Amino acid sequence: MEQQTPEKKVTVSHNALNYGLILGVIQIILSLLFYMLNVETDSFIRYLSMIIMIVGIVFGILNYRKKINNGFISYGQSLGTGVLIGLFCAILFSIYFFFFAKFIDTDLISEILRKKEEAMASDPRFTPEIIEQSMHYTRMFVQPWIMSLFTVLGMTFGCFIASLIISIFTQKKDNSFESNFK
């Protein structure tokens, strides 16, 4: 007699983990590419990573809707899927960023501090005392582990905002008679 293996059900978190890790790897590759090409952090081309993030969230939500949820997804499911994708991507990227800032580009922190101090020194509203006090607090927070933590929070929040909008367009309600009895 042939033994049947139980069908493996893919969950929201499994789908989000797959897409989050894929997006995280893409973001890491893009970051390394920008680093090697010496692209400035405030350059317009940096918006490319945001566009890729949005496209990845859309594909992740649509994949869940089409292949896992029988073509239907509520606004809440869509929002949750998008936020989870962003969270998994952010966790992976923040781990990369920590190692990048700590071991690869060891001058990154001092460069950030230097630019901050130069920007404040060029503003006539800042006295040397205010600059020194501000730099004292900036040095406390511009540490690889703190920046990695804020990367997770910032990227996840950004994906939450994007998912709020994306979910308006990706939701698809099941209006069939049977759906009322689930």
pLDDT tens, position by position, 11-25:
888 999 999 999 999
Mean pLDDT throughout 85-98? 96
In this model, does residue 1 exceed pLDDT 50? Answer: no
pLDDT score of 64 more than 70: yes
| Domain span at 47 | 12-103+144-173
- Structurally, the chain folds into a number of domains equal to 1
Is residue 66 in some structural domain?
yes
Q: CB–CB of 84/12 below 8 Å?
A: yes
Q: Is residue 5 part of a domain?
A: no
pLDDT for 61 equals 95
* Residue-wise pLDDT tens digits, 25-53: 999 999 898 888 887 766 677 788 899 99
* Residue 88 maps to a domain: yes
Q: What is the DSSP string of the chain?
A: -PPPPPPPPPPHHHHHHHHHHHHHHHHHHHHHHHHHTT--TTSGGGHHHHHHHHHHHHHHHHHIIIIISTT-B-HHHHHHHHHHHHHHHHHHHHHHHHHIIIII-TTHHHHHHHHHHHHHHTSTT--HHHHHHHHHHHHHH-SHHHHHHHHHHHHHHHHHHHHHHHHHHH-B---SSGGGG-
Note the Cα 48 to chain centre separation in Å. Answer: 13
Cβ-in-10-Å burial (0-12, 13-18, 19+) of 18 comes to middle
Q: Is the pLDDT of residue 135 over 50?
A: yes
Query: What is the average pLDDT value for the chain, to the nearest integer?
Result: 86
pTM score: 0.82
Look at residue 179 and tell me if it is in a domain.
Answer: no
Is the residue at 109 inside a domain?
A: no
Is position 113 within any domain?
no
pLDDT value for 89: 97
Indicate whether 29 belongs to any domain: yes
Closest Cα to residue 61, out of 7, 8, 20, 9? 20
Per the document, the length of the chain is 182
Is 38 part of any domain? yes
